[in-house]
Chains A and B, each alone.
Chain A
């Protein structure tokens, strides 16, 4: 079984709809991250969480919100989806330690907003 799972893997939705992407991990890591990837732009950090009570905005948090329901679960919500949020979304985890350790990525969610 995969250590970092994302659901759904693919989603097509319409402008204005609320959508939630979910991430679960079995690695026991404290740190979790949400990224989006767009062609030609590379990965960009949306939000990150260093533990259940810690939520931090990343580079492009506008239009997104997150919830860290438990150590193992980190959800990303688009309150009112818009077409320029069409992208590939990745969840990642890392362990707490000295510096910033290796990140483990989920398989990605391909989101299309029509």
Chain B
């Protein structure tokens, strides 16, 4: 049983396309994170959300607490956006549990 589900698992896009990655979770949460992992393995935190929407350059993250769903959007995608995007939530019955999705592998073709 996965507390965090991401879709799609793999995504290939042409440069310039608008991209959406989805994350659904089944536990009560205090926060949701979007992480980016580059081919070399390094992980960078993109966003932390507890409600609403955040924007950072071409990246937009939204969360709907009632529906237990978050989306990560990339506008005007670029080959340097190619990476694995990971959704993670903090919550569960103790409020301190961390749950990670298995990631969405994005490839942007020039």
Contact = CB atoms under 8 A, between A and B. Distances in A.
A44 interface: yes
Contact of A42 (B30, B48, B50, B102): B102
A99 B102 contact: no
Interface stretch (A21-29, A65-73, A76-84, A103-111): A103-111
B69 interface: no
A74 to B, nearest CB: 16
A102 interface: yes
B41 A107 contact: yes
Contacts, number: 52
A105 B42 CA distance: 7
B33 A108 contact: no
B43 A90 contact: yes
Contacts of B4: 42
A102 B88 CA distance: 11
Interface residues of A, number: 24
Nearest to B101: A42
22 contacts: A40-B102, A42-B102, A42-B103, A43-B88, A44-B100, A45-B98, A59-B97, A59-B98, A99-B31, A99-B90, A100-B30, A100-B90, A101-B48, A102-B45, A102-B48, A103-B33, A103-B35, A103-B45, A105-B44, A107-B41, A107-B42, A110-B41
Interface of A: 33, 40-45, 48, 56, 58-59, 88, 90, 92, 99-105, 107-108, 110
Given A105-B35, A107-B42, 5 more contacts: A44-B100, A48-B98, A92-B43, A99-B90, A100-B31
Interface of B: 4, 30-31, 33, 35, 41-45, 48, 50, 86, 88, 90, 96-98, 100-103
